[in-house]
């Protein structure tokens, strides 16, 4: 990775056979998918692993883009000799439908009008994201995946993969995720959406080229950011440390480092993410409920053929271990081969992105085992 740069590729699906019928009932065509690959696809195409990103992630999961110094978002996990060993596996990472990082979303041009979709973009779901990834795999000529893997919203996609395309994968790695959003998870997202909608610059989603809903989006991100950290990680990182002050200001300027940090996180997010995509992706997560139609989780998992690895983190209060354990129980009830690991971490929900040492070991061993047992390599 250190000597060669990675590049984001784009594939546009415009043929009738590729048309997507979304869960909302709308039809989507054409659509573009941004993706990256790392490593080499082997001769029998049995070593492909699909990486599924979280909410504000993108296709750039690993390696360096030319001219940039910051590697992909899961570079700790993907590369030669790493958990997702690119000497062994062919890694695919694509940006999700509805995002703003190269794959079609509300900021894309609607070919019917020649203008950005805005809120006329159809509401999308985790299921729709997965359907788009399926098109990409078809395009790449991959009939069966060694694994799919992701954390948070990526973990929900992994769950959806295991249920929707049981024949297409040997295993799925579900990290810091759930099988459906709870009231509290929906509530935090709703606050973010309301913060965006409250911003006059949002203009009901029709702001492209006119304004940027900076303030609302920044507030939404701040709420999110608190939920990604833990009580302990916030206390260790900030506590009551003052920001460049000897004493409390007794005014409404920043006093505490944690205030400055949140403001910075909010403001910098605005430069890299689209307010409408924020709405669409949070809504997709809130809609996610793999028991829809079956009611019982064990029934929803009845068709699963893949082995599963489920990972959660002790201090993750946004997607707590209880939700992972619920999935594990329902999988076991279906006699699915499932490994569950609760990793100790103070990093809260963010742990899957930052606490990679132990996670790497668990994933590396698991994937090697699946590769031997299920592919025979």
Catalytic residues: 152, 316, 349
Count residues near a copy of itself (CB under 8 A): 55
Binding-site member from 31, 59, 216, 307 for a copy of itself (CB under 8 A) = 216
Binding-site member from 9, 40, 184, 377 for a copy of itself (CB under 8 A) = 184
Q: What does the alpha-carbon distance between residue 339 and residue 333 come to, in Å, rounded to a whole number? A: 13
Return the closest-CA partner of residue 291 out of 319, 323, 314: 323
Stated as kind and residue range, the H or E segment containing 184 is: helix 183-197
Q: How many other CB atoms are there within 10 angstroms of residue 234's CB atom?
A: 16
Stated as kind and residue range, the H or E segment containing 312 is: strand 307-313
Binding-site member from 8, 32, 194, 211 for a copy of itself (CB under 8 A) = 194
Q: Which is nearer to a copy of itself, 32 or 267 (CB)?
A: 267
Pairing of strands 48-52, 147-151: parallel
Binding-site member from 195, 297, 311, 367 for a copy of itself (CB under 8 A) = 195
Q: Which is nearer to a copy of itself, 150 or 320 (CB)?
A: 320
CB neighbour list of residue 33: distance below 8 Å, 6 or more residues apart: 10, 11, 12, 13, 94, 95, 102, 103, 104, 132, 133, 135, 136
Residue 140 as a binder of a copy of itself (CB under 8 A): the answer is no
Q: What does the alpha-carbon distance between residue 76 and residue 62 come to, in Å, rounded to a whole number? A: 8
Q: What count of Cα atoms within 13 Å lies in the side-chain half-sphere of residue 249?
A: 13
Binding-site member from 317, 326, 332, 342 for a copy of itself (CB under 8 A) = 317
Residue 200 as a binder of a copy of itself (CB under 8 A): the answer is yes
Residue 151 as a binder of a copy of itself (CB under 8 A): the answer is no
Q: What does the alpha-carbon distance between residue 227 and residue 265 come to, in Å, rounded to a whole number? A: 13
Binding-site member from 1, 29, 226, 243 for a copy of itself (CB under 8 A) = 226
Q: Which is nearer to a copy of itself, 176 or 363 (CB)?
A: 176
CB neighbour list of residue 180: distance below 8 Å, 6 or more residues apart: 288, 289, 290, 291, 292
Residue 231 as a binder of a copy of itself (CB under 8 A): the answer is yes
Using CB under 8 A, list all residues that contact a copy of itself.
Answer: 23-25, 119, 122-123, 180-184, 186-188, 190-191, 193-195, 198-200, 215-216, 218-219, 222-223, 226, 229, 231, 234-235, 237-240, 248, 250-252, 255-256, 258-259, 262-263, 266, 279, 283, 286-287, 289, 317, 320
């Amino acid at each position: 990775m250190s000597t060669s740069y990675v590049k984001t590729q784009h594939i546009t699906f415009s043929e009738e056979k590729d048309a997507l019928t979304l869960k909302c009932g709308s039809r989507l065509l054409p659509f573009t998918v941004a993706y990256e690959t790392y490593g080499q696809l082997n001769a029998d195409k049995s070593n492909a692993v699909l990486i599924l990103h979280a909410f504000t992630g993108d296709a750039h999961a690993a390696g360096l883009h030319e001219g940039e110094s910051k590697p992909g978002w899961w570079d700790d996990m993907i590369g030669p000799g790493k958990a997702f060993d690119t000497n062994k596996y062919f890694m695919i990472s694509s940006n999700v439908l509805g995002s703003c990082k190269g794959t079609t979303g509300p900021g894309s041009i609607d070919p019917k009008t020649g203008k950005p979709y805005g809120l006329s973009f159809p509401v999308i779901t985790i299921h729709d994201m997965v359907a788009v990834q399926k098109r990409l795999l078809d395009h790449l000529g991959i009939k069966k995946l060694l694994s799919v893997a992701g954390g948070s919203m990526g973990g929900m996609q992994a769950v959806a993969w295991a249920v929707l395309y049981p024949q297409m994968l040997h295993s799925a790695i579900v990290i810091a995720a759930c099988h459906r959003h709870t009231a509290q998870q929906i509530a935090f997202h709703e606050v973010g959406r309301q913060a965006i909608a409250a911003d006059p610059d949002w203009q009901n989603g029709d702001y492209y080229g006119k304004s940027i809903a900076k303030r609302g989006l920044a507030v939404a991100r701040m709420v999110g950011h608190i939920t990604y950290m833990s009580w302990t990680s916030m206390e260790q990182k900030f506590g009551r440390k003052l920001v460049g002050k000897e004493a409390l200001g007794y005014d409404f300027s920043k006093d505490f480092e944690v205030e400055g940090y949140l403001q910075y996180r909010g403001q910098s997010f605005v430069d890299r993410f689209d307010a409408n995509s924020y709405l669409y992706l949070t809504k997709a997560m809130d809609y996610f409920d793999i028991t829809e139609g079956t009611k019982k989780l064990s029934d929803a998992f009845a068709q699963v053929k893949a082995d599963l690895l489920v990972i959660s983190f002790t201090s993750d209060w946004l997607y707590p271990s209880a939700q992972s354990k619920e999935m594990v129980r329902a999988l076991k009830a279906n006699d699915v081969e499932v490994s569950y690991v609760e990793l100790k971490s103070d990093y809260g929900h963010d742990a899957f992105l930052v606490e990679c040492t132990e996670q790497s070991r668990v994933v590396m061993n698991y994937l090697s085992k699946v590769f031997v047992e299920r592919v025979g390599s």
